[in-house]
Amino acid sequence: MRVTRSLTLALAMAPLLTNAATAPSMDERLRALEARQQQLEQMIRDRDAQLEQSNARIQQLESASHTTAAVVPAPAPAAPVATTPPAPQVATVADDAVIPAAAAAEPTPHHVPLESAWGTYEGGKGVVLARTSQGEVDFSAFTYLRYLNQRMLDDSYTDAFGRTQTLDIRDDLQLQKVMLFFKGWLFNPDFRYQFYTWTSNTSQGQGAQVVVAGNLSYRFNDAFSLAGGIGGLPTTRTTNYTFPNWLKVDHRTIADEYFRGSYTTGIWAWGQVADGLRYRVMLGNNLSQLGVDAGKLDSGLNAYSGALWWMPTTGEYGPGEGFGDFEHHDELATLVGVNFTHSREDKQSQPGVNDFWNSQIRLSDGTRIFQADPFGTGTQINKATYQMAAVNAGFKYRGFSLDGEYYWRTVDDFRATGPLPRNSFVDDGFQLQASAMLLPKTLQAYVAGSQINGQYGDPWDVSIGANWFPFKRRELRLNTQFLYLDRSPVGNTASPFIVGGNGWVFTTDVMLSF
């Protein structure tokens, strides 16, 4: 600093010495010189202060960067969406599995990052397109390529009323589904949004083949969050935001498919009321609004559904409470849950026969109760009440899992044009799914089966399959499966089974979900 000031003083004096002949008096020159020196010293102090501020800012940015890196979770197997409720996962959202648990879901952030960030990948969220103090935008996707071979099925079937139909047997390769999700929060981390679109090549030309949907939600506290938009009625475990964390790729056992509800517009709430104890309740338009326009709906919210589940040992059950122990629980993880759904249904509010992810009310031989003259007596059912209860339980331990679910359904309170063979239709059934990680985070084998005990038949199915995870992550997997059907009462173009299917089906899927 002294050298700098000396040079400054010398430079300041040079012109004064050069022009000494014309200079003012000595006192005036000294005063001018001192003023000049004070000015230059002030400039130096200002420069030093600016340098100190710059250094402090650099240190602050480095500290903020380290802090942000500490709070942003490392990529993990997807799940949801979602925290509470899970997302979801790889999706959380839901096909009726439309919203991945990830996608799903309805994740609630636990922090507001100090600095903006974009272009990073986070398990359960996808790619973070933007993150600032005012909001966040995440992008995720779900898709799979499927080879389906139904040529081993019988080519026709006869229902309980003697009607014989020829089956449309398939042997094809399809980019089965594409789902795109944009989700995040705005202004307040507790105010969430999720917008998504999906389409399926196998359902081209059908109703609801392309859907653009979404929902808005707000988290008040851990015990209560509220959302409105399109969501899944929590009728069974697979419609309670566990998708796509299933053993199978985007399809259920036939019993689960037969008894479940689907997706509709409504409002729903969820939360955690105690350690490991969670709930979700929903009030909606009907059992399945996909492919149904507003003019065909009754003037009222006719469907309500709820789920309560408890995870007593570890307080969790993997991403989205899904199936299979990919995570390898060293401590026994357990889950028990109950579901109940009630809906007053109208024949006009039913999706088309093959509509994307439709949820028709059927008898156990596959007959749709709202089809024209379902019993061959000339009677048409115009309204009916659907009620269904389900209980489920499961455990996961060191790569092994076992999950079961029991269903009980009644359909009654008919409004019909004539007499019916019964005043009510009552069915029950169950499913079991077991899996083992043969190679940790790499190779998984599973077996799944179900049966329906109905008044018009007792159909069942069993499947044996394997999942290979080439990157040791849930996001990408190759699935191969053999599925045996015994007179399936359900099916559509989005599923590997068809109504009346009897025999073997083979599928191979490459699934990507992030």
The whole-number average pLDDT for the span 207-219 is: 85
Sign of CA dihedral 257, 460, 476, 334: positive
Neighbours of 165 (CB within 10 A): 12
Contact 194, 182 (CB under 8 A): yes
C-alpha distances in Å from residue 487, one per residue of 213, 399, 465: 34, 33, 21
Phi, psi of 243 (to 5 degrees): -65, 140
pLDDT bracket for residue 338 (50, 70, 90): very high
Q: Say whether pLDDT at 56 is over 60.
A: yes
Could you tell me which of 270, 346, 357 has the C-alpha nearest to residue 307?
270
Neighbours of 229 (CB within 10 A): 16
Looking at the DSSP bridge assignments, the partners of residue 210 are: 199
Q: Residue 203 burial (CB < 10 Å; 0-12/13-18/19+)?
A: buried
pLDDT bracket for residue 124 (50, 70, 90): confident
pLDDT, mean over the chain? 83
Q: What is the pLDDT of residue 358?
A: 53
Higher pLDDT, 287 or 61: 287
pTM of the predicted model as reported, rounded to 2 decimal places:
0.77
pLDDT bracket for residue 46 (50, 70, 90): confident
| Residue 207 DSSP SS3 | coil
Residue 407 is encoded by which pair of tokens? Answer: 């269903």
Between the two ends of the chain, the Cα-to-Cα distance in Å is 59
Q: How far apart are CA 22 and CA 379, in angstroms?
A: 123
Q: What is the pLDDT of residue 43?
A: 73
Q: Say whether pLDDT at 470 is over 70.
A: yes
Most confident of the following: 46-60, 79-93, 206-220: 206-220
Q: How far apart are CA 439 and CA 71, in angstroms?
A: 31
pLDDT bracket for residue 292 (50, 70, 90): confident
Concatenated DSSP letters of 365-380 = TS-BTTSSSTTSSS--
Q: What is the pLDDT of residue 348?
A: 74
Q: What is the pLDDT of residue 102?
A: 38
Q: Say whether pLDDT at 112 is over 70.
A: no
Q: How far apart are CA 385 and CA 366, in angstroms?
A: 18
Q: How far apart are CA 335 and CA 313, in angstroms?
A: 8
Give tens-digit pLDDT for 130-143: 999 999 999 999 99
Q: How far apart are CA 81 and CA 265, in angstroms?
A: 19
Q: What is the pLDDT of residue 363?
A: 95
Contacts of 358 (CB under 8 A, 6+ apart): 208, 262, 288, 290, 291, 350, 351, 352, 492
Q: Say whether pLDDT at 78 is over 50.
A: no
Q: How far apart are CA 57 and CA 60, in angstroms?
A: 5
Contact 307, 337 (CB under 8 A): yes
The whole-number average pLDDT for the span 201-211 is: 70
CA gyration radius, the chain: 32
* % of the chain exceeding 90 in pLDDT: 65
The whole-number average pLDDT for the span 98-109 is: 42
* % of the chain exceeding 70 in pLDDT: 75
Q: What is the pLDDT of residue 504?
A: 98
Q: What is the pLDDT of residue 421?
A: 92
Higher pLDDT, 43 or 463: 463
Q: What is the pLDDT of residue 210?
A: 80
Q: What is the pLDDT of residue 494?
A: 86
Q: How far apart are CA 234 and CA 389, in angstroms?
A: 11
Contact 374, 508 (CB under 8 A): no
Name residue 131's amino acid.
Answer: R
Q: Say whether pLDDT at 289 is over 50.
A: yes
Q: What is the pLDDT of residue 199?
A: 85
pLDDT bracket for residue 44 (50, 70, 90): confident
Higher pLDDT, 411 or 115: 411
Q: Say whether pLDDT at 219 is over 50.
A: yes
The whole-number average pLDDT for the span 52-58 is: 65
Give tens-digit pLDDT for 377-390: 999 999 999 999 99
Contact 136, 149 (CB under 8 A): no
Q: What is the pLDDT of residue 111?
A: 44
The whole-number average pLDDT for the span 32-37 is: 72
Could you tell me which of 305, 315, 373 has the C-alpha nearest to residue 342?
305
Task: Average the pLDDT over each of 22-36, 69-83, 274-288 and give the range with the smallest value.
Answer: 69-83
Higher pLDDT, 387 or 298: 387
Q: What is the pLDDT of residue 69?
A: 41
Phi, psi of 259 (to 5 degrees): -90, -25
Phi, psi of 232 (to 5 degrees): -90, 130
Q: How many residues does the chain have?
A: 514
pLDDT bracket for residue 26 (50, 70, 90): low
pLDDT bracket for residue 347 (50, 70, 90): confident
Contact 214, 103 (CB under 8 A): no
pLDDT bracket for residue 353 (50, 70, 90): low
